A and B are shown apart, each in its own frame.
Chain A
Amino acid sequence: MKNNSLVERLSLQSESFQEGFELLIKCSTLEEMIKNFYHLLRGNFLATNLYITYKKSFASKWESIGLKFEIKEIDLSFLDHEKQLTVKYSQKEKYDVVVVLPLSDDSYLGIIVGKKLDKSPFNDFDKITLQILLQVFSSAYNSFLNQREVKRLIFDLNEKVLQLNSLIDTGIELSRFDKQNVLFELSLERAVSITNSSSGIILIYGTDSKTPEKQLAFPSNTNPKKVLENQFKIESTFKFDDKNYHFLLAEKETRKGATSFTELDVMLLESITRQVQAAIENEYLIEQSLEKERIEKELSLAATIQQRIIPKKLPEIEGFELSGINIPSREVGGDYYDCIDMGDGKYALIIADVAGKGISAALLVSTLNAAIYSYLEFDLPLTELIEKLNKLIFQSSPSDKYITFFIAVLHSKSGELNMVNAGHNPALLLREDGALEQIDAGGIGLGMLDFGMPYTDQNIILNRGDKLFLYTDGIPEAMNVNNEEYSDERMIEFFKEHASKSGESFINAMVKDTKSFVGEAVQSDDITTLILKKL
């Protein structure tokens, strides 16, 4: 064939080569490329048999990709040893043409062309056409690899955006949950999915415990033992409130099987674990804050109840001076005092202290107050009145609640005092001549027991200049920063020394001395006093 004629024919074919290239670069898979290349070769050479094989690397085995033939059908022995582009023509062999085409990613294309339909040998035009088609495939394959790389890069970039987005969303979602089970389920699912793990578990251990007190797995049928023993695993832990939390992920997935986790995976897991830790800590702090708020509301209510019961103003008793004070502690105790005008010159002086603090103590004081007013109406003997109060308080309060109580009924015209002390601090009677008596006749505190134990009373006459001092343990048991008590002795001495002052002045001085002793320490109990002076 003359050169001019060859060039002319190839020029006519150039459009066909261009179309072939465009067909190949549109293929999204290698299978599709090989299938189309097969048709391109068949169309050009009209060969009886045509085989295209592929191997991923020089050492790999030839595979049939995209074409319907078994690889064992053909003899590939003459393809195996070629690393360079090899094109062999031979009319004597079974096949006319054998080609090994090395591709840019170190993979290989093997092409075997059988006899042409017209039995004619491969001429120069066929040989040049084959060379051009090999170049076309090679270029299209490079384009295919580039497209695949671009796709991979876009996928990887999207995956990173997804991981970042997932971390942010997880943080927001975790902060909304107040149930720990939901918190753990969500965090485990997210940790598993954003790290492409096959599975994950959360193990929660108590202090010094080797067996987890709680465990979660995703997927739910995951065997924790297999995660713990897996060669591909990562772990993140934290400790909070005497519990150890372990997050474990196993087997980072790829399309080709499990592999080791990366540093990024470790960071992602730790990031989610920290978010869980923060959510648990926040939940704890919120609970604390709600509890504090609840207590403050209760104390506020208790203080309101207490303030309503304690008299704003004491009655004026002819021939006597009466003063009192109640200074609630920060935790609102159950101290109570009152002076009830019973008519006909009789007055009931009361001081009491409920065991415990807060709303329950305040309510018990309220019950006591109402009961006293009711029973005083019946003008019962004082001991009987106390027995009734004891029964009522015993029945209406829990076993750990009781009231220390002191009552003195003053007959102002005669100066007679009828008194019962139910488990309260002894009242102090200071006679004008300086003699001091402690009044403790009575019985047990109200509500302690209900065995019908009798109460005894005591009667005295108050003479001019005599003083009766009632108080709760908030004064003698007031404690300073060194855990030292103000003490009964110091209180009695102070009483004796300052009793000549007016009632209000004495009380103010007593409170001032107590607070001076306490100093920087917090007032832990109510301070309540009542002082009666015979003028």
Chain B
Amino acid sequence: MSEDFTIISELNNNILVLKTNGYINNTGGEKIAQEFSKHQDSVKKVVIDLEKSNVVNSIGISYLLEIVESLNESGGKLFFTNLDPTIEKTFQIMGIFQFAEKTDSIDSVVG
């Protein structure tokens, strides 16, 4: 139907930074999960920059929850930055922030 979701992946100080662009739905969530799985064994911290994603659905959230759980089990942590207020509220309701964190910038995690 529509394939406008893109993702930029960067490894910075052994921290995976994923910059998304577009609707985080089944397609978007799957792409994020695939990118995470490539680095799953080597990174403990992941930052997802949602500056260019302001719409998410619960299928997309289910992928993000899996990343949160996976990192939590391996002692890692998922961070979100540049959150649209609506997405932030959505994550709050869906319980993502039980184990993931909101951060002001990528630099505050990468250091």
> Chain A's nearest CB lies how many Å from the CB of B39?
18
With the chains together, A28 CA to B70 CA distance in Å?
A: 8
Contact with B along A230-243 (1 / 0, CB 8 A): 10000000000000
Segment of A128-136, A174-182, A188-196, A289-297 in the binding face: A188-196
Q: Are B1 and A250 in touch, CB under 8 angstroms?
A: yes
Instruction: Tell me the nearest residue of chain A to B3, going by C-beta.
Output: A221
Q: Are A196 and B58 in touch, CB under 8 angstroms?
A: yes
Q: Are A198 and B22 in touch, CB under 8 angstroms?
A: no
A286 interface contact, C-beta 8 A: no
Segment of B7-15, B43-51, B89-97 in the binding face: B89-97
Contact with A along B43-76 (1 / 0, CB 8 A): 0000000000011111100100100011001000
The interface size of chain B toward A, counting residues with CB under 8 Å, comes to: 26
With the chains together, A219 CA to B53 CA distance in Å?
A: 11
Q: Which residues of A contact B25 (CB under 8 A)?
A: 196, 198, 253
Q: How large is the interface on A (under 10, 10 to 19, 20 to 34, 35 or more residues)?
A: 20 to 34
Instruction: Tell me the nearest residue of chain A to B87, going by C-beta.
Output: A193
With the chains together, A199 CA to B2 CA distance in Å?
A: 7
> Chain A's nearest CB lies how many Å from the CB of B100?
15
Interface of chain A, helix or strand or loop or mixed? mixed
- Report the number of A-B residue pairs with Cβ-Cβ less than 8 Å: 74
Q: Are B26 and A165 in touch, CB under 8 angstroms?
A: no
Segment of A93-101, A156-164, A208-216 in the binding face: A156-164
Contact partner of B93 (CB less than 8 A), chosen from A162, A198, A199, is A162
A227 interface contact, C-beta 8 A: yes
Q: Are A226 and B1 in touch, CB under 8 angstroms?
A: yes
In the complex, 16 of the A-B residue pairs with CB atoms within 8 angstroms, ordered by the A residue number, are A28-B69, A28-B73, A155-B58, A155-B65, A159-B58, A165-B89, A192-B23, A194-B57, A198-B2, A219-B2, A219-B5, A220-B4, A221-B4, A223-B1, A250-B1, A254-B59
Q: Are B26 and A221 in touch, CB under 8 angstroms?
A: no
Q: Which residues of A contact B89 (CB under 8 A)?
A: 165, 169
Decide: A192 near B57, CB < 8 A? Known: A161-B93, A198-B25, A219-B23.
yes
Q: Are B2 and A221 in touch, CB under 8 angstroms?
A: yes
With the chains together, A351 CA to B5 CA distance in Å?
A: 75
With the chains together, A328 CA to B64 CA distance in Å?
A: 71
Decide: A192 near B93, CB < 8 A? Known: A198-B26, A253-B26.
no
Q: Which residues of B contact A353 (CB under 8 A)?
A: none
Contact partner of B59 (CB less than 8 A), chosen from A199, A217, A255, is A255
